[in-house]
């Protein structure tokens, strides 16, 4: 799973999209308005997505 903010000033969103396309069966999660760090207010959403993703792998 690739998680990327569309407002990341260090790595453009296209970098995350390209990485996801380069790894077979990878899910790409774009977070609107997120920069390079994870703001506390959206951390629960991201954690939930990660837990669901891991659950699907087991």
User: Could you tell me how far CA 34 lies from the centroid of its own chain?
Assistant: 10
- Residue 58: which pLDDT band, with cuts at 50, 70 and 90? low
Q: In the chain, where do the E strands start and end? A: 2-5, 28-31
As a whole number, mean pLDDT of residues 1-29 equals 96
- Residue 11: which pLDDT band, with cuts at 50, 70 and 90? very high
Provide the 8-state DSSP code for 5. Answer: E
The predicted-structure confidence for 22-47, as pLDDT tens digits, reads as follows 999 899 999 999 999 999 999 999 99
Residues 27, 4: Cα–Cα separation, whole Å? 11
């Amino acid at each position: 799973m690739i998680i990327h903010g569309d407002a990341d000033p260090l790595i453009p969103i296209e970098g995350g999209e390209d990485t996801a396309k380069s790894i077979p069966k990878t899910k790409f999660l774009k977070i609107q308005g997120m920069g390079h760090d994870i703001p506390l207010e959206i951390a629960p959403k991201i954690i939930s997505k990660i837990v669901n993703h891991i659950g699907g792998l087991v």
